[in-house]
Amino acid sequence: MQLNFLMINQPLNNRGDEAAHKALVRSILSSIPDSRIRVLFVGNDQNSIDQFDVCNSRVSYINISALKRNIRRNFIRLLKLSFFFLRLHPTIRKILPLYQRADIVLCAPGGICMGGFQNWEHIILLSVAKLANKPIAYYGRSIGPFPTITFFNKVFKRKAVSLLNYFSFTALRDSQSEKIANALNVKYESTVDSVFLESPVVEIPKEISGLIGDKPYVVFVPNMLVWHYAYRGKASVEDVLSFYKKVLNIIISKYRGHNIIMLPQTFNYKKLDDGDINFFRKLKQYTQCQSLIIIPDTCSSDIQQMIISKAECMIGARYHSVVFAINQAIPFVALSYEHKISGLLESVNKLDSMVDITTAFDSEENMQNVLMRFEKTLNLARKDIGAQQKAKKIARDCFDKFLKFCLGK
């Protein structure tokens, strides 16, 4: 029997989301031989989609043209008030037949669209599956927090909780999301990031090996932070650059004679000032650090994991840089900027490898305390194969339950 999946809400322009996508899709293809997967995008950049392609004849990537931005925005405003108008939306009328042909609607693994970022398009596409009376698998996601300050905060939470209770299979990827689900009486399976479903082995291109050089190296993946809802108004780009300069000084003191490799997690950002690689260039100029080597943002997630596997340590303020380090069983220090990092590390018993930076910009005293904790944690960083094994077991156990759900349909 052929099993048809429609995958929706796939985040783009991020190497971590690419790795999670590929790991989950490859795992489904290898475990369900008669499966077919359609991955739906609405008005996305085709080059960004192409970089996620697993290159398998059983997987197709469909990019439906969207309404013009201003019309789309107005329709979303209308839908915020009532999803009764879903059937009237021209784009939804185009995508509804794809839902109707699917056996299972699979929400792609990713971040906290159903939570802190209040992503209305995320829950609208899920609501179309409900409209089509299709089972939904919400796989490898984080959820929350759900603020209730404004009217639309409250509406979003109500609709999100309604969907969470509708899903046929829910797998949450971190312990903090599980706590939120418990408080909401939402049923779920425990998992970790879908990246842990596989360990890709590829060759690092010669031009990238040439950039890295022959010296031993550590990987450093900072995060501009000011884009995040928790840091708006709390820190400027200058503040963040100053913080990372101090972090770099500690790294250089610990790893003398090493290169410091920076791996951009984001790519294809249209605004000049957005995206990791532009921030990395600013940081290199700001610090004048000659040992900083910026890897092009065109390197796939598979190549990034291979680069990390050969590093002596990884220091990361991006969630998936931490995931990659655990998946490759190398020493790491996580600079935690939101609960998905702390939740992951709690799940694999590695909170001792984390430094919470969420209050670093509140005062000079806080900043000094964060830097002291970072230096101490970096000095104690050790290889821990146990965290890798625990993460992979959690990921596989959940995926096995997912397979039983799918094959029981």
> 220 has which bridge partners?
315
User: Mean pLDDT, to the nearest integer, of 89-97?
Assistant: 89
Could you tell me which residues come within 8 angstroms of residue 371 by beta carbon, excluding any fewer than 6 positions away? Answer: 246, 247, 250
| Helix (H), strand (E) at residue 193 | none
Segments in 102-191 forming alpha helices (H): 120-131, 151-166, 175-183
Q: How many CB atoms lie within 10 A of CB 76?
A: 14
Phi first, then psi, for residue 330 (nearest 5°) are: -115, 160
Could you tell me which residues come within 8 angstroms of residue 172 by beta carbon, excluding any fewer than 6 positions away? Answer: 141, 142, 143, 178, 181, 188, 189, 190, 191
Query: What is the predicted pLDDT for the residue at 111?
Result: 84
> Is the pLDDT assigned to residue 367 strictly greater than 70?
yes
Residue type, position 34, single letter? D
Here the tokens at position 255 are 């790893």
Residue tagged 């031009």 (tokens): 207
Here the tokens at position 174 are 């971190």
Among 76-85, 116-125, 144-153, 387-396, the range scoring the smallest mean pLDDT is: 76-85
> Is the pLDDT assigned to residue 9 strictly greater than 70?
yes
Contact yes or no for 295/264 (Cβ under 8 A): yes
Query: What is the predicted pLDDT for the residue at 343?
Result: 87
C-alpha–C-alpha distance, residues 38 and 58, integer Å = 8
To the nearest whole number, what is the mean pLDDT of the chain?
A: 93
Q: What is the pLDDT of residues 26-68, one digit of tens each?
A: 999 999 999 999 999 999 999 999 999 999 999 999 999 876 5
Confidence of residue 98 (pLDDT cuts 50, 70, 90): very high
Q: What is the pLDDT of residues 319-354, one digit of tens each?
A: 999 999 999 999 999 999 887 899 899 999 999 999
Q: What is the pLDDT of residues 135-186, one digit of tens each?
A: 999 999 999 999 899 998 998 999 999 999 999 999 999 888 999 999 999 9
Residue 336: strand, helix, or coil: strand
Write down the pTM of the prediction: 0.93
Query: What is the predicted pLDDT for the residue at 228?
Result: 73
Confidence of residue 69 (pLDDT cuts 50, 70, 90): low
Residue 335: strand, helix, or coil: strand
| pLDDT over 90, % of the chain | 81
Query: What is the predicted pLDDT for the residue at 271?
Result: 62
Here the tokens at position 262 are 């920076």
How would you class 387 by CB atoms within 10 Å of its CB: exposed for 0-12, middle for 13-18, buried for 19 or more?
Answer: buried
Q: How many CB atoms lie within 10 A of CB 165?
A: 12
Residue type, position 130, single letter? K
Could you tell me which residues come within 8 angstroms of residue 77 by beta carbon, excluding any fewer than 6 positions away? Answer: none
Query: What is the predicted pLDDT for the residue at 273?
Result: 60
Here the tokens at position 72 are 């789309």
Here the tokens at position 229 are 């809802």
Query: What is the predicted pLDDT for the residue at 169?
Result: 98
Residue type, position 129, single letter? A
Confidence of residue 75 (pLDDT cuts 50, 70, 90): low
Question: For residue 353, what is the DSSP state?
Answer: G
Question: Which of 210, 224, 205 is CA-nearest to residue 361?
Answer: 224
Here the tokens at position 19 are 């790795």
- List the domains of the chain with CATH numbers: 3-196+391-407 (3.40.50.2000), 206-327+332-382 (3.40.50)
Query: What is the predicted pLDDT for the residue at 74?
Result: 62
Contact yes or no for 27/5 (Cβ under 8 A): no
**With b meaning 16 or more CB within 10 Å and e meaning fewer, what string describes 283-320?**
bbebbebebbbbbebebbbbbbbbbbbebebbbbbbbb
